[in-house]
Amino acid sequence: MNLWQDYKRPTSVSEAVRDLTSAAGPALPIAGGTDLLLDLRQGRHAPVHTLVDLTFIPEMSVLELRGDSLYIGAAVPVSRVARDPLVGAHAQALVEACNLIAGPQVRNTATLGGNVAHALPAADGTIALTALDAVAEIASASVVRKIPFTSLFLGPGKSAIDKTKELIVGFYIPVKTSQVSETCEVLMASCFKRIMRPQGVALPILNCAVWLARENDAIKDIHIAIGPGGGTPFRATEAESALRGQPFTEETFSLALDALLAQAQFRTSARRASADYRRHIVGGLFKDVLDTAWKRAE
Amino acid sequence: MSNINLNVNGKQYSLESIPGETLSTLLRERLRLTGTKIGCEEAECGACTVLVDGEPMMSCVYPAERADGKTIVTIEGLAALTPLPLPPNAPHLGGVAQSAEGGMKLHPLQEAFVEHGAVQCGFCIPGQIMTAYALLKRNPNPNSDDIRFALKDTLCRCAGYPSIENAILAAAQALRTGEPVQKPTHIPDSVHEHKTVGHSHLRPEAVEKVTGEAIYTDDLKFDGMLYAKVKRAMIPHGFLKKLNISKAKSLPGVAAVLTAEDVPAEKNHGLVIFDWPVMVGVGERVRYAGDALAIVAAESQEIAEAAIGLIEAEFDPQPVITNPVMAREDGVPQIHEKGNLLKHIKVRKGDMEKGFAESDVVLEHTFHTPATDHAFIEPECSIAVPVKPNRSGDLLGLSRMEIYVGSQIPYQDRTQVARVMGWDESRIRVVGQLMGGGFGGKEDVMGQIHAAMLANVTQRPVKLLFDRRESLLVHPKRHATQIRVKVGAKKDGRIVAMETELYGDTGAYASLGEKVMTRATTHSAGPYDIEHVRADCYAMYTNNPPAGAFRGFGVTQSAFAVESMMDMLAEKLGIERVELRRMNALHVGSVTNTGQVLNESVGLSECIDRVDAEMRTHNPRPFDPVAGEADPNLVRAWGFAAAYKNTGLGGGAPDKSGADVELYADGTFQVRSSASELGQGLVTVMRLIVAEEMSVLPEQVRVLVMDTDLTPNGGPTTASRQTFVTGNASRYAAKTLRDEIAASLAEKFDVRPEQIRFENGIVHANGYSLSYADVYREMMSLGQQPRVRYEYEAPKTQPLGSGGDMHFAFSFGVQAAEVEVNKLTGEVRVLKVISANDVGMAVNPLGLQGQVEGGVMMGLGNCLTEEFIVENGNVVTDQLARYRVPGIMLTPEITSIIVEHPVEAGPYGAKGVGEISSIPTTPAITNAIYNAVGVRVDKLPVDQEMIARKLWEREEQ
């Protein structure tokens, strides 16, 4: 059985949406395809008739500064994201996450769009984008709209995007430049790390991304993302509140961790990790990531 | 539909697009660039890596249509990218830095892979080299971390990762400086001095493996070839009630659909016991999910798969026997007519009651090991080609069948196919192909019989290629075991009693289960001299996939149990753990637990001493935990383990191999045997031995293996036996030929035969000097064919229980591993491994290095990453993505120490190495984990969550 019957190579977003909605049978967009083709081949995905290749669309392969945001097209390979100096300058957590997605060859085709579209609560790219407070641009036949990143997800593996007629075009990451003046010095930094196990499926036991703005010895602002900390990519907003405006000390960290543990919903994943294990090790990971980001903002 | 315009290796193509086609298929099937290999079709293994616009990509998940407008480079195009000018012709080991096609210079990466012995089975090599090429383009001066980062997902199951890394470093240096590729300098020659053997030599087939010219079975295509697929039961236990093949038969493009009713003669196959049905018929019992119900041959792979989907089967499901302990319980369903017990294996020595009564300390513990998969990167493939009687060897006008397959036992394949076809064996010709790894997993018949049946019915060539899922589902695994060890010792450390009880899960069919579990049992007291030993093993049938041969052959499992116990005992007695092993170690004069007196070649103590000394150069107190300075939660410590493993079949089985050596008119030799080259390096060993005996350069000796029409039976490639038996067969065949030449020339030149000298490719006789081409002419003129067949028979062995010599040789191995354990997460990293192996004599030290590195890595996988999971008879790990084999990122620093206590009967003293190099790794690592954090791992693979839990529970108390 053929994995697909018809293969479209549109060169614009509107053409791609048209190809999706006018296909002679079930149609899906394909970016990297490193997951989709395997899902089709292994019968985890219903057969499709038409694949719409997004990698020939210039708008979706752009990586550039747009106003006060860094724009990353959804079809940019993650290896390019990881190597791009703009991403290195403004979103180090994303560089770190992208360098850990799959392996080098897969990263040359795999995309952030695909990483996000699978709606897994612990996908590395997704967790980094969550902490970086990204905004997603979505195109459908009638409209192109921007939505907050976390509203892309409905549940584990359930995306708010209807892949048969909508596309993730790209992501906007707010670029907050460091402010240094005589009276105040606010420095921004981010970090991503994860914990794996060497057996079984290559999904993290836990991953964590932190973005923070540091003003001298205090945390002026902070975003914390943990995966999997619930059915969707989890923002530890209670922990953020506990730290925002506070000095970074053992005490404030301890309060933040308590808040994180109270808010997160750790689950047991068969053959990967028990909820108990995750609760026990999340503190060490969170501390490590926060420490690193904090030091980077020196 | 639009065309695909692409540039491949500098050539422009415009090809019609084919729905569903991947780039790998386009390259392999349409452009016939078969150097790009398919290992998994899951983007996991990296064998299919090609460059797309300069970046390495997995071509198995790259839609061909996406390649439109792109530039592709495959392994076949790499030599053309060699930077010019080339360094002047440097002398090479064996001097082969040319393509097998002749003339063309290799790229420095290709040359470095050859020179550094980074090429073993060769199947992953195109992917390794293409990935490395892209790395060097971006980073001409990579360090070890850069290489590891770039090659993270390019798997090598022979696992010569250190050699691969060294090769890339050497190639990078050559490219930067324009100097010749640096050769390895860290591999010493054998201590036993000979002219050719004992020195490092290159593999004869290494060059074709780095250029992509090497042909593996799936690279072959025959005119009119059909594609086959097997309908699998996919239920673990039940009776087949109905089977409807009519829809599949009527699908256009289907040439044949066969079921159990179509099996011409014998219904079952097997290696020792014929209990494995070729297909399960209606009314018959399905014993595991991989049982075959029907086979299809069709015009394309896609049609064959569609036809399989149209076959309807109904079952009467039966309760599932999920493990060997359950299989032995009263009242459970009996899977085979004879019951669930394949074999109760017993070892008896001394008096257990007395032994334990005399002991000051008695310890008892139970260990568990899971099934594991060989995960050779090349999945199984068989091609059967019917041969009309007028085309070859006319046997009373009967047709013949050629079977192209990568098999560890070509002559057994021939027997098994012939039995099922009801043919005389002479009508079958097995033409063995290069193998992309075997490790014991290509001993049983997989597609050979099915392909032959379909080819016979259709009278067309039939290819049966397993995909990764089918490979994981169907072929025999390493036995899952439960092993209870009870040990008794005196206060001074002398072990006086060892009692073990083993349960082995042999799955649905016997395969080599009885033999494997016998080896597990006889080795279950470890390489120690113990007065009172008792072992009982129950090898049980279950409804899991069959279990059979896998590097280590049962000893991997029992070594984990007994070597863990040795450390537990050392702690209990307060005796240093190396010292405990030293004082109990087998030595010349010891009596093994099966009653064999060891008369020679016991290098265990030297292995212990040398590993111990090397380990203490890193840390004089190696077993004390060391907390990290930067992060005190990261704790390091060393662990230590010893093991032994028989060479050869043993147990009274006749252990023979035949070899032909022939001199040709051009003065070259050919040595032939149907022993298997699966990447381990046997072909090189045979070549070196004949070169040694005939006093010629290795390049003057060609090797032909694995063809049942052209090469004599070398027996199974198993039990680390081929260097010994086929090495000896080659040696004695060459010796005999040399004697015949001497006798002939003596007569002609009127001297005594012993006055004929063979030196540096020249034969000296009474003042005359003859080249071997001259010798050929002389022999022919005397009417003598310069060709000798020698059938070597290894020293006789005795069955278990008879008290005699059960094996003709044992190899010994000791390893120390340094690990780092994260006390918070339980994560384990292996930092260093020191491996000493007593191999008798190192025939080819370069090849041996690869066996040692690969052995450590396979042991590390067995310990840390690998678990073949079956739940209620259903295979969970049916993808490579769920079954992790260790990659380069997990590779520790590996130090190899070669110990050479020769065996009298071995070729130049050599004995086996293939398995021993892998066996002590697991307990060395788990003992190190205990030394680091005090958590005893008694169940594999190591579960980091278990370690973390034990530590936080301890903290909470």
Give the pLDDT of residue A184: 78
Are A103 and B952 an interchain contact pair (Cβ–Cβ within 8 Å)? no
B866 touches chain A (CB under 8 A): yes
Residues of chain B in contact with residue A275, where contact means CB-CB under 8 angstroms, are none
Give the pLDDT of residue B390: 66
Give the pLDDT of residue B83: 67
pLDDT score of B764 more than 80:
yes
Q: Which fold has domain B3-77?
A: Ubiquitin-like (UB roll) (3.10.20)
Q: For B61, which residue in chain A has the nearest alpha carbon?
A: A34
Among candidates A6, A55, A200 on the partner chain, residue whose Cβ is nearest the Cβ of B884: A200
B824 touches chain A (CB under 8 A): yes
Are A37 and B309 an interchain contact pair (Cβ–Cβ within 8 Å)? no
Give the pLDDT of residue B394: 54
| Nearest residue to B237 via CA among B179, B322, B324, B320 | B320
Give the pLDDT of residue B126: 98
- Stretch B166-178: mean pLDDT: 97
> Distance (Å, rounded) from C-alpha A186 to C-alpha A188?
7
Q: Does domain B80-186 have CATH number 3.40.50.150?
A: no
Tens digit of each residue's pLDDT (9 = 90 or more) over B313-341: 999 999 999 999 999 999 999 999 999 99
pLDDT score of B286 more than 70:
yes
Residues of chain B in contact with residue A6, where contact means CB-CB under 8 angstroms, are 1, 19
Give the pLDDT of residue B94: 39
Are B306 and A1 an interchain contact pair (Cβ–Cβ within 8 Å)? yes
> Distance (Å, rounded) from C-alpha B603 to C-alpha B837?
8
> Distance (Å, rounded) from C-alpha B781 to C-alpha B777?
6
> Distance (Å, rounded) from C-alpha B262 to C-alpha B274?
18
DSSP structural state of residue B371:
B
If you average pLDDT over every residue of chain B, what do you get?
96
Among candidates B20, B864, B952 on the partner chain, residue whose Cβ is nearest the Cβ of A2: B20
Are A109 and B62 an interchain contact pair (Cβ–Cβ within 8 Å)? yes
> Distance (Å, rounded) from C-alpha A109 to C-alpha B217?
30
List Cβ neighbours of B857 (8 Å cut-off, separation of 6 or more): B159, B161, B886, B890, B891
pLDDT score of B92 more than 60:
no
pLDDT tens per residue across all 298 residues of chain A:
689 999 999 999 999 999 999 999 999 999 999 999 999 998 889 999 999 999 999 999 999 999 999 999 999 999 999 999 999 999 999 999 999 999 999 999 999 999 999 999 999 999 999 999 999 999 999 999 999 999 999 999 999 999 999 999 999 999 987 777 777 789 999 999 999 999 988 889 999 999 999 999 999 999 999 999 999 999 999 999 999 999 999 999 999 999 999 999 999 999 999 999 999 999 999 999 999 999 999 8
B246 touches chain A (CB under 8 A): no
Are A195 and B825 an interchain contact pair (Cβ–Cβ within 8 Å)? yes
Residue B474: pLDDT band with limits 50, 70, 90: very high
B66 touches chain A (CB under 8 A): yes
Are B20 and A5 an interchain contact pair (Cβ–Cβ within 8 Å)? yes
Q: Does domain B226-319+379-434+442-474 have CATH number 3.90.1170.50?
A: yes
Are A34 and B22 an interchain contact pair (Cβ–Cβ within 8 Å)? no
Are A105 and B944 an interchain contact pair (Cβ–Cβ within 8 Å)? no
List Cβ neighbours of B727 (8 Å cut-off, separation of 6 or more): B685, B686, B689, B843, B906, B907, B910
Tens digit of each residue's pLDDT (9 = 90 or more) over B65-89: 999 999 999 999 998 887 654 444 4
Helix ranges restricted to H, chain A? 13-21, 36-41, 78-83, 85-90, 92-98, 104-107, 112-117, 124-131, 237-243, 250-263, 275-296
> Could you tell me what percent of chain B has a pLDDT over 90?
96
Same fold, B3-77 and B656-793: no
Among candidates A1, A34, A202 on the partner chain, residue whose Cβ is nearest the Cβ of B61: A34
Q: How close A56 comes to chain B (CA, Å)?
A: 9
Test the A interface: residue of B61, B949, B950 with most A CBs within 10 Å: B61
**Cβ B233 vs Cβ B293: under 8 Å:** yes
Q: How close B667 comes to chain A (CA, Å)?
A: 48
Give the pLDDT of residue B96: 40
In Å, how far are B443, B649, B673, B676 from B716, measured between CA atoms?
Answer: 8, 9, 11, 8
CATH class name, domain B656-793: alpha beta
**Cβ B255 vs Cβ B299: under 8 Å:** yes
Residues of chain A in contact with residue B19, where contact means CB-CB under 8 angstroms, are 2, 4-7
DSSP structural state of residue B28:
I
Are B65 and A7 an interchain contact pair (Cβ–Cβ within 8 Å)? yes
Q: Does domain B480-650+801-956 have CATH number 3.30.450.40?
A: no
Give the pLDDT of residue B102: 45
pLDDT score of B117 more than 50:
yes
Which long-range contacts link A216-222 to residues 24+ away (Cβ below 8 Å)? A216/A184, A216/A185, A217/A247, A217/A248, A218/A245, A218/A246, A218/A247, A218/A248, A219/A243, A219/A244, A219/A245, A219/A246, A219/A247, A219/A248, A219/A252, A219/A294, A220/A186, A220/A244, A220/A245
Q: Does domain A59-174 have CATH number 3.30.70.250?
A: no
Q: How close B685 comes to chain A (CA, Å)?
A: 36
- Stretch B110-128: mean pLDDT: 98
B885 touches chain A (CB under 8 A): no
Could you report the predicted ipTM of this complex, rounded to two decimals? 0.96
- Stretch B156-176: mean pLDDT: 97
Domain ranges of chain A: 6-53, 59-174, 179-296
Q: SS in 3 state form for B455-497?
A: HHHHCCCEEEECCHHHHHHHCCEECEEEEEEEEEECCCCCEEE
Give the pLDDT of residue B397: 76
| Nearest residue to B282 via CA among B239, B323, B311, B245 | B239
Return the amino acid letter for B669: F
Q: How close B153 comes to chain A (CA, Å)?
A: 5
Cis peptide before A228 (omega within 30 of 0): yes
Are B948 and A277 an interchain contact pair (Cβ–Cβ within 8 Å)? yes
Residues of chain A in contact with residue B309, where contact means CB-CB under 8 angstroms, are 1
Residue holding tokens 């050719």?
B196
Are B49 and A34 an interchain contact pair (Cβ–Cβ within 8 Å)? no
Q: How close B806 comes to chain A (CA, Å)?
A: 38
Among candidates A30, A33, A281 on the partner chain, residue whose Cβ is nearest the Cβ of B824: A281
Test the B interface: residue of A199, A203, A277 with most B CBs within 10 Å: A199
Q: For A195, which residue in chain B has the nearest alpha carbon?
A: B825
Residues of chain B in contact with residue A34, where contact means CB-CB under 8 angstroms, are 43, 58, 61
Give the pLDDT of residue A181: 75
Are A38 and B865 an interchain contact pair (Cβ–Cβ within 8 Å)? no
Give the pLDDT of residue A37: 94
DSSP structural state of residue B701:
E
The pair of structure tokens assigned to A146 is 């921007």
Q: For B888, which residue in chain A has the nearest alpha carbon?
A: A103
For the domain covering A179-296, report its CATH number. Answer: 3.30.390.50
Domain ranges of chain B: 3-77, 80-186, 226-319+379-434+442-474, 480-650+801-956, 656-793
> Could you tell me what percent of chain B has a pLDDT over 70?
97
pLDDT score of B97 more than 70:
no
> Distance (Å, rounded) from C-alpha B162 to C-alpha B168?
10
Count of beta carbons in the 10 Å neighbourhood of residue A196:
17
Among candidates B19, B827, B944 on the partner chain, residue whose Cβ is nearest the Cβ of A4: B19
Among candidates A2, A34, A280 on the partner chain, residue whose Cβ is nearest the Cβ of B19: A2
Strand bridging mode B3-8 / B71-73: parallel
Give the pLDDT of residue A279: 98
Q: Which fold has domain A6-53?
A: 3.30.43
Among candidates B55, B66, B153 on the partner chain, residue whose Cβ is nearest the Cβ of A53: B66
**Cβ A236 vs Cβ A225: under 8 Å:** yes
Residues of chain B in contact with residue A108, where contact means CB-CB under 8 angstroms, are 52, 55-57
DSSP structural state of residue B916:
G
If you average pLDDT over every residue of chain A, what do you get?
95
Strand bridging mode A27-30 / A50-53: parallel
Are A33 and B62 an interchain contact pair (Cβ–Cβ within 8 Å)? yes
Give the pLDDT of residue A202: 84
